[in-house]
Amino acid sequence: PGQPFRNGPAIDAWVVPGAAGDERHERLDASEGHARVAVRVHAMGAGLWRYDYAVMNLDYARALTEGSEPNLRVLDARGFSGLRVPLGAGGSVGATTFTDTDMLAANDWTVQVPAPGGSPAAVTWDAPAGSNTLDWGTLFHFSLVVDAPPVAGSVILLPARAGMPADYSVASLVPGAPPLFADGFE
């Protein structure tokens, strides 16, 4: 209310494209479609940072088709089924969250968090097999609390259907290495 309407996806209002500092908003422009990844990082104190990622699939799909033109039939058009956020060496992950549009816990994406210093050094969210993929016009929210400040890096979007490329790297802010003297002992 009181503000003029703006064209564009909702994610543009959350983090403005081209933002700097503790926010970042980048586009994925691929031959199979387009997506956006935005992040906000909040210093929580006590050496902890909260990373909030919004991933919006504008029109990306790796389609399963049958026949050929002019009788081409699209059988299925899935988007993304995973998000991977790399961690700096030695980073420790606290709470994680996932939020989608349907509020049904039964089809929420699962999260794998490595043990400190474990491998692979990434937090990965995965869609349930064959359902609740991040399809056209959909936005999902992911967050994690880490004991590491943000650095420039890339998050990885995993397509729901196998093909080439196997994944997409999108520039973002990711957890770096924890500060050497994070506990104040010097």
Binned at pLDDT 50, 70 and 90, residue 97 comes out as very high
Q: Which residues contact 66 (CB under 8 A, 6 or more apart)?
A: 72, 73, 75
Share of the chain above pLDDT 70, in %: 92
- The stretch 136-148 carries a mean pLDDT of 95
Neighbouring CB atoms inside 10 A of 79's CB total 25
C-alpha separations of 102 from 10, 107, 161 in Å: 17, 9, 22
Query: In the predicted model, what is the mean pLDDT of residues 140-159?
Result: 96
| Count of alpha carbons within 13 angstroms of residue 137, beta-carbon side | 1
Global model pTM greater than 0.95 = no
Grouping H, G, I as helix, E, B as strand and the rest as coil, residue 11 is: helix
pLDDT band at residue 180 under the 50/70/90 scheme: low
Name the average pLDDT for the chain: 90
Phi, psi of 105 (to 5 degrees): -65, -25
Give the residue-averaged pLDDT of 39-60.
96
Whether the pLDDT of residue 186 is over 60: the answer is no
User: Is the pLDDT at 117 greater than 80, yes or no?
Assistant: no
How high is the pLDDT of residue 57? Answer: 97
Tell me the two tokens of residue 153.
């890096």
Q: What is the pLDDT of residue 118?
A: 66
**Residue 108: pLDDT above 90?**
yes
Kindly report, residue by residue over 55-88, the tens digit of the pLDDT.
999 999 998 889 999 999 988 889 999 999 999 8
pLDDT above 60: residue 183:
no
The residue among 1 and 95 whose pLDDT is bigger is: 95
Closest by CA position to 83, among listed 20, 150, 139: 139
Average pLDDT over residues 126-137: 93
pLDDT at 89: 77
Tokens of 45: 């104190």
Residue 15 has pLDDT above 80, yes or no: yes
Distances (CA, A) of 168 to 9, 71, 130, 142, 152: 20, 30, 20, 17, 16
Categorise residue 137: left if φ over 0, alpha if ψ from -120 to 50, beta otherwise: left
Sign of the four-CA dihedral 170, 83, 180, 22: positive
